């Protein structure tokens, strides 16, 4: 296994060097069935995707995986953005002050 992991109250983030020759990098958003019904899982992924885009993703040369935790289902966008920024800052993907 390669890569680094950071966990927080709302999500887990896994970052690894980009596989292959893809210079743009990739991202993935995972919301398991434990979170609830399909519309709720879709909402969680949409909120994470919007927060990641606001932070400048997808990041070059990196594969980033965001795994939703159960508390994200009731979280506001600003809370998700702050939490994601903290996780990505710990991993050195974005500026931690952001």
This prediction has a pTM of 0.91
Of the listed ranges 21-25, 27-31, 80-84, the least confidently predicted one is 21-25
CA distance 83 to 79: 6
- The pLDDT of 38-57, averaged and rounded, is 94
Roughly how many angstroms between the first and final C-alpha of the chain, as a whole number?
A: 29
Quote the percentage of the chain above a pLDDT of 90: 72
Q: What domains does the chain contain, in order, with CATH numbers?
A: 4-90 (3.30.230.10)
Which residue did the predictor score with more confidence, 68 or 96? 68
- Yes or no: say if 75 and 10 are a contact pair by the CB < 8 Å rule: yes
Give me 9's structure tokens: 């109250």
Mean pLDDT for 84-92 is: 92
- Residue 1: pLDDT over 70: no
Cis previous bond, 90, omega within 30: no
User: Three-class SS of residue 62?
Assistant: strand
């Amino acid at each position: 296994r390669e890569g680094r992991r950071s966990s927080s109250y709302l999500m887990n983030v896994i970052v690894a060097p980009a596989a292959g020759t893809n210079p743009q990098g990739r991202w993935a958003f995972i919301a398991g069935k434990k979170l609830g019904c399909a519309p709720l899982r879709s909402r969680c992924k949409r909120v994470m995707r919007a927060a990641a885009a606001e932070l400048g993703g997808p990041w070059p040369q990196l594969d980033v995986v965001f795994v939703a935790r159960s508390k994200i289902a009731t979280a506001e966008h600003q809370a998700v953005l702050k939490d994601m920024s903290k996780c990505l800052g710990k991993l050195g993907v974005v500026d931690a002050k952001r």
